[in-house]
Structure formats: C-alpha cells, structure tokens
Structure 1
Amino acid sequence: MSETVINTQELGEKIVQVLKTIYDPEIPVDIYELGLIYDVFVNEERDVKILMTLTSPNCPVAETLPVEVEEKVKSLDAVKDAMVEITFDPPWTQELMSEEAKLELGML
C-alpha cells in the first residue's frame, strides 16, 4: 500500500485562498493582499506554519487575528496542524501591499 503523496505546492495555494477570506477589520482588504503574510511553510506531514505580521504592534486584533488565521487554515481537510508566528521584523509598510490592495484603497 503506497502513501498518498501530498502536493505541498497545491496545498499552499489552497491555504492562500483561505487567507484571502480573512480581512483586517480596519482596512477593507484581505490580509494576503495587504502583505501581512510573509511566508507559508508546508511540510510532508501537512503541518503548516504561517509567518505573518500586523499593521502595527498595537493593532486592535493582535490577539484575535492570528487565532482566526490558525483556525481557518486548520479547517482545510488536507492540513494536519497549523501554527501562526507573528513577527515585526521587517515591520509592515504600505509598500508590502499588492497593486490590487493599493487600487482598492485609492492609493494608485
């Protein structure tokens, strides 16, 4: 009996789709387009680690947003476990936003 090979790239893309459903409550743009997600790691065991930041260390959702990200990613059937790590290095700036986010916010 052979084990099913997990396509980590495919799973990564599914995770990004989930991340695009999570919004910063103060800005009407999803956290992925805002540039708050620095990296998504997926290993062969289907454990996911997400390295993300917040718009500021005093962000009102500093307690709840990482939990929401973790829970939504864990809800994917293919994900065994998910962990979110918050970093402020490098600090978030508006340059990290996608063109789509800048357009949405009238910055282009």
Structure 2
Amino acid sequence: MGSPMKIRAAIKDGRTEVKVLIAHPMETGFRKDPEGKTIPGHYINEVVAKHNDKVVLSAVWGPAVSQNPFIQFQFVGGTPGDSVSVTWKDNQGDSRTDQVALS
C-alpha cells in the first residue's frame, strides 16, 4: 500500500472541486539503472473517484504519467459532510483508497 494521498474537496458555486496529489514512483520500465539494467515498470494504471459511492471520475493511465501525479476535477452536487474517495491501482497489484469529507 502506498503513502496516503493528499485530497482536498470543497464546494464552490454549486460545484465540488477535488484536488488530489498521489505519492507514487510512476516508473516507466524504460529507464536503466547505473549498471545498465532496466528498472522494472511500476505505475498507476487505474484511478477511480467516488462521491458517496457514485463514480464521478474513472481514468486509465499508463507509464507516461509523471512521478507523484496531481489530478484536479469538478462535479456538480455535493453537500458539506458528504464523502469523496479516491482509489488507485498499479501494475504491480498495489492499491490505495483515501477519502475526505466535503467542506
């Protein structure tokens, strides 16, 4: 399981804005170490965000996403106290889910 995500979710003008910073190495699998050996790929390949168990964002990623990716998105609706959860899964079978309450 990776490090906790930093998630901020706030309601503004009837829209909920969510910002997420994910701590992950996002290794492409194409780089080589100092000895010339290929560093195995280790990257997030699926991200799902939910508002009260309803999917509001679903993304499929690959090795071209940078280390410690940041995503920002909006959706209509949400009231203070509702939950927003974000889950990621990577190509090595690791996953993490974190959630916050809307403010």
Provide the TM-score with structure 2 as the length reference: 0.31
Instruction: Give the structure with the higher percent helix.
Output: 1
Higher RCO structure (Cα 8 Å, ≥6 apart) = 2
Task: State the structure with more CA Rg.
Answer: 2
Instruction: Give the structure with the higher percent strand.
Output: 2
Provide the TM-score with structure 1 as the length reference: 0.30
